[in-house]
Each structure stands twice: as structure tokens, then as C-alpha cells.
Amino acid sequence: METSKNLVRELNRRRVLEQVFSYGPISRSQVSKNLKLNKVTVSEIVAEMIDTNLFIELGQGDSSARGGRKPTMLQLNADYGYVLSFDLGFNYIDVMMNRVDGFVLTFEHHRVGEIGIDERLAFITDKAHQFSASDHKAHKLLGVSVAIHGIVHDNKVLYTPYIDFQDKDIAQILSDELNVPVGLQNEANLSVIYQRDFESREQIDNLVCISIHKGIGAGIIINNRLFTGIHGEAGEIGHAVVYEAGAKPNHKFESIESYCSEDAILKKIKEQTDLSELTRDDIQTLYYDGNEIVGDILDEFCYYTANIVYNTIVTLDPAKVVINSNLIADIPELMDIIRGYIPYLTKDKTPVELLSNSRYATLLGGVSLIISQVIDVTPGELNFARILAESKLATS
């Protein structure tokens, strides 16, 4: 019986915290009304939150239309602490520092080359110590998230094609060094978490984000919860094989990644032109200059991307598909071409959109992941949309 009471109280604590986080400044009475909870229960939970410094009381709000005493407004204490989010790319490490409410304090992009895992871990710990010594109000590090371009399960890296993690338990290593929780997650999964928690202002319970970068992956939200499968492999759509007409049983099939990842596009353009050194910016320039070879290769890219989107739609039937691709963000006209190539089984077309903030999406998804963990709320129940607007990040 006592255990049951504790579970109910913990659930109520989470719900009150989610209300103040997402809708503050808000009064106790409004929280009580929104959650249909007894005012005494809400007041007791709020008192505990104030004692732990997670909530602060602001000035009085407006009284109701019937008059009466003005309510005292509550808000999350944004200076309670901060979190750090890292994206371990093939040859770069991105770093973001955020207050506990999600507000972006700093962002850094570091070209580090193809360094090993020990050097990457040293980079993360050094950065964390630098930030802890810096002068900012949110002086307490609460947690760290790390984006992995590979398969993650139970907070461990199971597979990545670009970095040898040497079977190291990097979450445990970093947690021991920094004395805070450390959460690992696949990059595409963090992108869909970003879309859910920062961008989807309407209630979208079923959502897929397809990330097309050096590789291809999909983050999947089902019933407002991240779906990763039994072994963390759900969404590894870049490894889906491409079947050729007349292929024999012993034929070596290619993956879809070999046709429409950013690496595949760069490789094709290099092979069909005399350009040995090529960047994504060069592709953008060549496309807008009317280069026919680049135009044909990108048209093929759009065709295969449309196939990926179609297969995703008929497999999962999501409410929306979002594409996270810096290449498409650089050349947004490609989205219309992709949409034109997508077949539909019914007249009800699934919306297919470009992720609006591809440069920061992975990091911000990590921010939501680790904040939900350190303040102990249900993932997917915090709304960061307002704080993103206040952060005024430059979209790409």
C-alpha cells in the first residue's frame, strides 16, 4: 500500500514539474486545474521543489475576472544548473551548453580530424572542466549527452562505422570523471527527439526523422516515445539492401547508403568530373551554376531519397516525416523534387518536411534527453519550443 502511494506521489511530482517547465510562469491553482489535482497536493509538491531550488516564485500575477487575491507565479529556476551536449562526428566534435530550461548558452564547432576514442574522451572532459570554471550563473553541471553516429543500446555503443570505440563503456568513463549522469544516443534518434520536443507545437504522437549525412538513419517516435527496437537497431535504414533486377542469390547487394548518403554523392561527382577536392559548399555552387552532371546526380539522389521516404511511410504510417540533411538544407529546391518522386497508396498524403534546424538538431535532442533524465521527468513531456525561440539560434 505504501509503495502504491509513493508511485502516485512520484507521478504527481513529475506532472507538476512538467507543467511548470513547459508553461511557467504559472500559478499553483492553474497547475491544479490543468492536472485535476488537489490544491493541497500541488502546494506540497511545489514547496519541495522550492526547497530544492528547482522552482522559484516570481511576482504576483493577474487576479481572476471575479477578483480575489492575486496568485503567486511559479517558474523553473533556469540557473539551477546546466547541461552539456556533444556530437561525435567523423572528423568533428560539436559542443553545446544549455541551462536546465534548455536555453542555449554557447555553441562550438571543432574540426578535430580522425582522432581516436581516447583523444575524444579527453576532449570532452577537458571541455567540461573548462565550462565548470567559466563565469556563468548556472554554475552546476547536471549531466552530459553524447550523440553517436552508430548503434546505441542500454547506454553503450554497439556499432559505428567511423570511430573505433574499442568496446569502451564511454558513458561510465565520462560519468566517473565528471560525477554526473551521461546519456548516449544515436544521432538520428536525437534528431527526432529534437523535432518532437522543440519543433512540433501540435501534438504529434507518431513521427519519423530521416537523417542523411555521412550515413543514413531514422529516428522513430511511436505514441510519443522513442522507439529503438530490441537491440537499438530500429531505424538503421541506411543498411537496407538495394535489389537489382535479375540478381542471383549469391549476388553481393549494395546498401541504400551507397546511393544517396552525402559521401555517395561526393564520390559520384568526383568520379564523373575532374574535381578531386570537393565539399558540400562546392556541390551547392555547381548546382546553382547549372552543372548538368551535378544536376543529374542530385536528381538521382532525390529519387532514392523518395524511395526511402515511401518505404518508411508504408512501414510505419507516421503522422509526419522530417528529413535532416545539410545537403538539402543548402539546396532546399531538392525537397520539392523529392516530394514529386514519392508515390502514395491513398489520397491521404503524409506530410514530408525539411528539418528546420539541421545544424543544431542533434545537440538539442541531446539537451532534451539529458534534461529529462537529470530532473527526472517522462521523456517527451517537456515543451522546449518557447525556449528555442528565445535562444535565437541561426538556422541552417
Picking from 49-63, 70-84, 174-188, 293-307, which range would have the lowest pLDDT averaged per residue? 49-63
CA distance 354 to 335: 7
Burial of 389 (0-12, 13-18, 19+ CB in 10 A): exposed
The contacts of residue 116 (CB under 8 Å, 6+ apart) are: 163, 164
321 pLDDT exceeds 80?
Answer: yes
Nearest to 9 by CA among 35, 49, 41: 41
pTM above 0.85, yes or no: yes
Instruction: Provide the 3-class DSSP secondary structure of residue 357.
Output: coil
- 90 contacts 149 by C-beta, under 8 angstroms: yes
DSSP code for 95: E
End-to-end CA distance of the chain: 53
* Confidence at residue 391, expressed as pLDDT on a 0 to 100 scale: 75
Highest mean pLDDT among 7-11, 213-217, 337-341: 337-341
In this model, does residue 63 exceed pLDDT 80? no
pLDDT band at 396 (very low <50, low <70, confident <90, very high): very low
Paired residues of 183 in beta bridges: 145
Taking domain 2-76, whether its CATH number is 1.10.10.10 is answered by: yes
Note the pLDDT of residue 395.
Answer: 47
- 233: nearest Cα among 146, 183, 158: 158
CA distances (Å), origin 204, targets 50, 102, 139, 271, 318: 32, 21, 35, 42, 9
Query: What's the rounded mean pLDDT across residues 250-276?
Result: 84
Q: Which of 127-141, 166-180, 331-345, 346-360 has the least mean pLDDT? A: 127-141
With bands split at pLDDT 50, 70 and 90, how would you rate the model's confidence at 260? confident
CA dist 178 and 101 (Å) reads: 21
Domain boundary assignment for the chain? 2-76, 80-193+360-391, 202-354
> Which band of pLDDT confidence, cut at 50, 70 and 90, is reported for residue 3?
confident
Mind listing the pLDDT tens digit for each residue in 192-209?
Answer: 999 999 987 666 789 999
CATH of region 202-354: 3.30.420.40
Cell of 317: 504510417
Domains 2-76 and 80-193+360-391 share a fold: no
> Buried b vs exposed e over 177-193: b needs ≥16 C-beta within 10 Å?
bbebbbbbbbbbbbbbb
82 phi, psi to nearest 5 deg: -140, 165
**80-193+360-391 is classed CATH 3.30.420.40:** yes
Does position 342 have pLDDT exceeding 90, yes or no? yes
Is residue 368 within 8 Å of residue 136, measured between CB atoms? Answer: no
Q: Which three cell numbers stand for residue 55?
A: 522552482
Alpha carbon distance 185, 147 (integer Å): 5
